Chain A
Amino acid sequence: MEEIKMIKEKMYRAGYICDDGSATVLFLAEQLHKPILVEGPAGVGKTSIAQAFARMKELPLIRLQCYEGIDEPRALYEWNYKKQLLHIQAVANQNLDVSEVEKEIFSESFLLSRPLLQAITSAERACLLIDEIDKVDFEFEAMLLELLSEFQVTLPELGTVQARHIPFVFLTSNATRELSEALKRRCLYLYLDFPRAEIEKMILELRVPHLSHKLSGKLVETLHQIRQMNLRKQPSIAEGIDWAFSLLAMGKEDISTDVIMETLNVILKYHEDINQVRTSFAKA
């Protein structure tokens, strides 16, 4: 198919390997003007698909990193309180009309735009990445939902701000909690899992220059073997990339079982996982 093939190719040039599935979701999001909700285990490329998409479209990427307790002033907009105070101090003995001063200090030059407001007011269309949305609380989620449905916000002091362009929106989630039905309904759902071997091999070769086919093949094969085991934390794509870099730095062209054993700490974070993999490779 032409469009989907094209997206795969362009994303490749932007530094990201899409399979048919993820390319289809990107295609549909663009056609239907819908945000994409990306879920999946840690380190499978949730954040980087948004980054690559922005690169592909040559659009600015505006990123809102969510965290527990994030609020509107941090995400949407805030009045520059210090600047306002200083202004009041400066005009204090000029005998000005109070309502004049008030109008002045609640004008745009005292406004601090945060990512969400930036995304809808930016001069060109933007790509908005709302990263780790499962960290926010419910009121914040409701605010986001409204923003993503109306693409406008109302600032009590300035009135309603309408989006100049509807941004491309990516929301990522580590699924630590359930998101509201309404928000999920707004979005297309992209579930990124650990990739198939041939895709992962392509990713490694794209991300790690000078990696030979032979080494990448062996790395991916080993990673897949390890993911079959029941570990506390499975090695992700990110760890696979780190692993490839370290092996290259060590000048290894082929990886024997010994080399795997020595470098397991690059891809596994827990001591008991390392032990388990060691034992199982020692047996083999």
Chain B
Amino acid sequence: MNAITGQIQNFIEDLRGAGISVSPGSVEECYRSLILTEWSSEAVFYTILFCTLLKESAFIAIFQEIYNRHFHYFKINQPESEEEFRRLNAINFNIIGFGQANSGKKSDQEGQKNNNHQSYQRQVDSKNHYKDLFALDFYTATYSASVEDIRKMEQLIPLLGKRMASKMIIKKRRHQTGNFDFRRTIRSSMSTGGVPMEILVRKKVREKPVIFALCDVSWSCLHFSYFSLSLVYLLEKFYRQARSFAFIDETDEITSIIKRESHSHLRPKVLTEANVCGNSGYTNYGQSLSSFYNQYGKDLSHKSYVLIFGDARTNWFGTNPYVLKDIQRRVKRVYWFNPEPKDEWGSGDSEILIYKKYCTRVFECCNLGQLAQAISDIV
């Protein structure tokens, strides 16, 4: 077993590498807690790291995995009994070298130095082991990321939801402060002999936008569609009027599926239950847009926001840009979220540059981080 401090330092570096922010204050607190407590079981040790270093439930799975990797020796040296754990515990204290009885011994200090050096070396080696999942692009995620990474990315989705919710609260507050309602206050003071016992304010009514979200669920957007559907699932919770649609070469409403299913089940349910495949089964943006507009165009109004999630890869089918133009004229905003990097826009069968003319904004969303940023820009 190596110096536990160095090991904890490595562990923290890996947490940071995976996108978990750990402040220096938290690190200090973690060490203080380790000294204060006798680690009578692994649960105690684990909890100390957990409660001081982690503050966000969306990262629990990532935290656990990194923990298991670093503190595997608990598993290998499986302390069978409490006695055994106490023995390990005693060794740990010596190695930390804090305040315990024989920590001042020279050999210990030397040992510590060596270990620190070793652990630095290891730190350099393992630097790139943990990817920041917010920065992992959807394309790589689809084709080469491990199932584990994808599972962990999925668990970050609720975090996006929480960020959105936070943002909405700020906005709501800004709009909420009502004005003093002079007439009602005076009128209600009649019953108390003209003394205004109740101060009344006017409540502001804020128009809630109606969201229309369209998701490309075809093969080329495979992984992105997974995340865009989850995102729409979140939107559904924040705007009471959020309607969602999926398309490949035919558009169908999926609002009820989204309401019903948990976000991890969405994609397969949409593919089996919604009518998104027309004749060809290949992505066809022109046809899908027309299909959307013909079926649901009548519901669009100046209160609507249209959000389109897709790569605008048209398979050389028609683009029907005039449909998007008509849509844009009827609604308040059109936002497009494109999972491809900007340099590829317009190359090959990508028609995003044509559609761009009729969008309020087009966002590059290659990874979760960008997607989160884009969403927070519009809510």
B residues within 8 A CB of A78?
A: none
> Which single member of A20, A28, A191 contacts B57 (CB below 8 Å)?
A191
Q: Is the interface of B mostly helix, strand, loop or mixed?
A: helix
B residues within 8 A CB of A1?
A: 37-41, 44
Is the pair A28, B38 in contact by a Cβ cutoff of 8 Å? Answer: no
Which residues of chain B in 152-174 are interfacial with respect to chain A, using CB atoms and an 8 Å cutoff? 158-159, 162-163, 165-166, 169-170, 172-173
Q: Is the interface of A mostly helix, strand, loop or mixed?
A: helix
Does B51 make an interface contact (CB < 8 A)?
yes
Is the pair B37, A4 in contact by a Cβ cutoff of 8 Å? Answer: yes
Is the pair B165, A20 in contact by a Cβ cutoff of 8 Å? Answer: no
Does B125 make an interface contact (CB < 8 A)?
no
Return B202 CB to nearest CB of chain A, in Å.
15
Cα distance A261–B219 when bound, in Å?
A: 41
Cα distance A189–B23 when bound, in Å?
A: 14
Number of A-B contacts (CB under 8 A): 108
Interface size on B, residues (CB 8 A): 43
Interface size on A, residues (CB 8 A): 40
Return B301 CB to nearest CB of chain A, in Å.
28
Is the pair A24, B162 in contact by a Cβ cutoff of 8 Å? Answer: no
Cα distance A25–B30 when bound, in Å?
A: 12
Instruction: Give per-residue flags for B42-78: 1 if the beta carbon is below 8 A from chain A beta carbons, else 0.
Output: 0110111011101111001000000000000000000
Cα distance A28–B32 when bound, in Å?
A: 10
Is the pair B51, A138 in contact by a Cβ cutoff of 8 Å? Answer: no
Instruction: Give per-residue flags for B343-354: 1 if the beta carbon is below 8 A from chain A beta carbons, else 0.
Output: 000000000000
Return B43 CB to nearest CB of chain A, in Å.
4
> Which single member of A5, A19, A177, A190 contacts B51 (CB below 8 Å)?
A190
Is the pair B36, A28 in contact by a Cβ cutoff of 8 Å? Answer: yes
Is the pair A184, B162 in contact by a Cβ cutoff of 8 Å? Answer: no
Return B182 CB to nearest CB of chain A, in Å.
17
A residues within 8 A CB of B204?
A: none
Is the pair A232, B162 in contact by a Cβ cutoff of 8 Å? Answer: no
Stretch at the interface among A31-39, A108-116, A118-126, A240-248: A31-39
By Cβ-Cβ distance, the 4 closest A-B pairs, closest first, are: A1-B40, A177-B165, A20-B43, A184-B55
